[in-house]
Amino acid sequence: MKTFKILYILVFINLIQANLNAQWINIFQGNNVTFHAIDCLSDDTVFVAGTQSTVLRTYDKGQTWQAINPIFEIDAVDINFPDELTGYIVGYNGKIAKTTNCGNNWELMVTDTSYTLIEALFINADSGWIIGSHLYETKGIVLKTINGGKDWNYYYSEDELFNIEMINNLTGLIGIYGDSYGFLKTEDGGNTWNLSNPEFQWINTVSFINENIGYCTASQGGLHRTTNGGTTWEFITNDYGIGFYSRSQLLFLTEETGYYLGWEKLFNGGKIMRSDDSGNTWQDQIGGKFWDMDMINTDTGYAITWDGRIYKTINGGLPVGIAETNIGEYSENCVSFICEFTIFSFDLLDAIFKEDFAVSQGRRRHGAVYIPLTNCKIDLTLHL
């Protein structure tokens, strides 16, 4: 593999105050749009949806994004593609949009509800569930279809609903918030729902990796794990801010490796964390106004912020180790950038990236890197 002596920069580094950023790279910045949902079909194909009928699609690992907005108005809250062609968007006022050609065209579906629909979960192009909440009251709704949205069955809850997870085609759990505690649980594919596990107060996110092993977080109780499909739960931890955030997402890829995204409206911010020991300990990865994330595997995934940014990791968001105070020899597919106690490194993968980085060390400092891979020439600009 060819290597290049590319650049030497002398930087004063205070190792005591060193701040090692995790490998989440901002690959897109939207204008005047709020992102609410992301769904990864593969590393190549990813969808992002948000306000103002905004739907973005990439076919090239996030290098370029194409607007494929519906022609009708829908403020998306969630997006779900059960296969490479069929996808659903849900949003405010009971609106549901469907595509059967990978987002090139969208059809507005008819429902009998004005609830805000917050999450869609489809197991194939025809069968799926959608949950929603009343805009002004602590009430919820579950919609079910088995014919691609031509018909819907409705279940109304006296509690607000947060997150739905289907363990298999028949058994599923929904986190609830209100006068009741625990889950709503179905064992007949969502035809009926009953209260389960009342020992939990206000479940806000659930994640199963198979029919037996799953995790959940409670706003007053921390992180729990089950090994018997949710019949009983084992307490793990209430540290690391788990359960504190008003909006959160739990995503376990294996029994050991999982991600937690939290956003708190009180301070308009949050973070992404990762665990590699079944949730016993967690490592902060990146802070910001993160709203949703989706991982393709334990290493590759995407995250969005409500202020229109898209981030990507290809190394599981793991931090970069301390390097020397200069940049030495690196391969043509990997470049490192050092700026004010922070080291950034990312694979270019035949791409051209332009990225702004910010490091908070008393006052805000920015660095911009533009790297055309054709000749491996690096232009480095620092704005102090």
**355 compared with 265, residue with greater pLDDT:** 265
- The pLDDT score that the predictor gives to residue 350 is 30
The answer to whether the CB of 285 falls within 8 A of the CB of 274 is yes
- The pLDDT score that the predictor gives to residue 17 is 33
Token couple for 109: 């579906």
- The pLDDT score that the predictor gives to residue 383 is 38
Token couple for 347: 């694979």
The chain-wide mean pLDDT, for the chain, equals 79
Mean pLDDT of 50-79: 94
Mean pLDDT of 128-132: 97
Mean pLDDT of 120-136: 94
- The pLDDT score that the predictor gives to residue 343 is 34
Residue 1 has pLDDT above 50, yes or no: no
pTM: 0.77
Q: At 320, is the pLDDT very low, low, confident or very high (cuts 50, 70, 90)?
A: low
Residue 91 has pLDDT above 50, yes or no: yes
Residue 331 has pLDDT above 70, yes or no: no
Residue 185 has pLDDT above 60, yes or no: yes
Nearest 10 degrees: CA dihedral of 68, 70, 71, 75? Answer: -130
Q: What is the DSSP string of 167-208?
A: SSSS-EEEEEESSS-SEEEESSTTS--EEE-TTSSSEEEEEE
Write out pLDDT tens, residues 230-288. Answer: 999 999 998 887 877 778 899 999 999 999 999 887 777 889 999 999 999 999 999 99
Measured distance CA(262)–CA(365) in Å, rounded: 26
- The pLDDT score that the predictor gives to residue 258 is 97
**304 compared with 247, residue with greater pLDDT:** 304
| CA-to-CA separations, 12 to 22, 197, 319, 338, 358, in angstroms, rounded | 21, 55, 20, 10, 17
Mean pLDDT of 282-308: 95
Min mean pLDDT across 54-58, 77-81, 132-136, 293-297 is at: 132-136
CA angle 115–120–125, rounded 5-degree value: 130
- The pLDDT score that the predictor gives to residue 89 is 97
